[in-house]
Amino acid sequence: MAIENEEVRVEDKDNKAHFYKEVDKGSSYPSWYLTSNKEKLKDSISMKKQQLQNISDSGRQIALRESIRQEEERLALIDNSEPKLTSALKEKIAAVRKELGDKITSSMPSYSDVQRGIASSHNEVKRLEEARIELSDECMETLKKVGLVVKRKITGLTAEKYWKLCSRVLDENSNTEALRKMN
């Protein structure tokens, strides 16, 4: 069963609240979401600056300076791509996060069912791949404001992705396993 890509990004370069910016073209997640990649880039810049002090060959220095400049530009693009949200929009995103979280939780088998081996893997695939989660009008409106256009019903995978994005932008836990019921 193929997964349809339900997500369509709204192109509006001037909208500071959009989750995806020009730097994210072709990316599954926005660059600001992947904090570990940002940290790796910072570490790389720092290491290259230290290396620069120990290199006497002017040709290598020029190449290293250029590499540092490119990485610093990339880091600045990532920093500038983070959505700028008003407090009212943050409240709406928190409501979307709650709605999606509740719907994801109710569709997941419990942790104890998974541990005992009685959760159906077939049902789990259906939960993730079939458009079963219906969104409210308010939820759809808010997702459009942050640059996502969705269908009325979305798959579990898409719901989890949107929940993760909302969680990260609000500096909340974005691990969907935290939504799984224990019993």
Sequence-ordered strand ranges (E) for the chain: 8-9, 133-134, 148-149, 153-154
Q: Where are the domains of the chain?
A: 8-20+83-179, 35-81
What confidence score (pLDDT) does residue 172 get? 95
pTM of the model: 0.81
Q: Which residues contact 99 (CB under 8 A, 6 or more apart)?
A: 135, 136, 139
What confidence score (pLDDT) does residue 161 get? 95
Type of residue at 88? A
- pLDDT by residue for the chain (183 residues), tens only, comes to 444 444 444 444 456 788 988 888 878 899 999 899 899 999 999 999 999 988 888 889 999 999 999 999 999 999 998 999 999 999 999 999 999 999 999 988 888 888 888 888 888 888 889 989 999 999 999 999 998 867 889 999 999 999 999 999 999 999 999 998 887
**Do 96 and 139 contact (CB within 8 A), yes or no?**
yes
CA atoms lying within 13 Å on the CB side of residue 170: 21
What confidence score (pLDDT) does residue 50 get? 93
What confidence score (pLDDT) does residue 8 get? 44
d(CA 107, CA 181): 10
**Do 48 and 68 contact (CB within 8 A), yes or no?**
yes
d(CA 135, CA 150): 9
Cβ neighbours around 32 below 10 Å, total: 22
What confidence score (pLDDT) does residue 14 get? 53
CA distances from 98 to 86, 108, 166 (A): 18, 15, 9
d(CA 123, CA 113): 13
119 DSSP 8-state letter:
S
What confidence score (pLDDT) does residue 91 get? 96
d(CA 111, CA 124): 13
Task: Dig out the tokens for 51 from the structure.
Answer: 């290396």
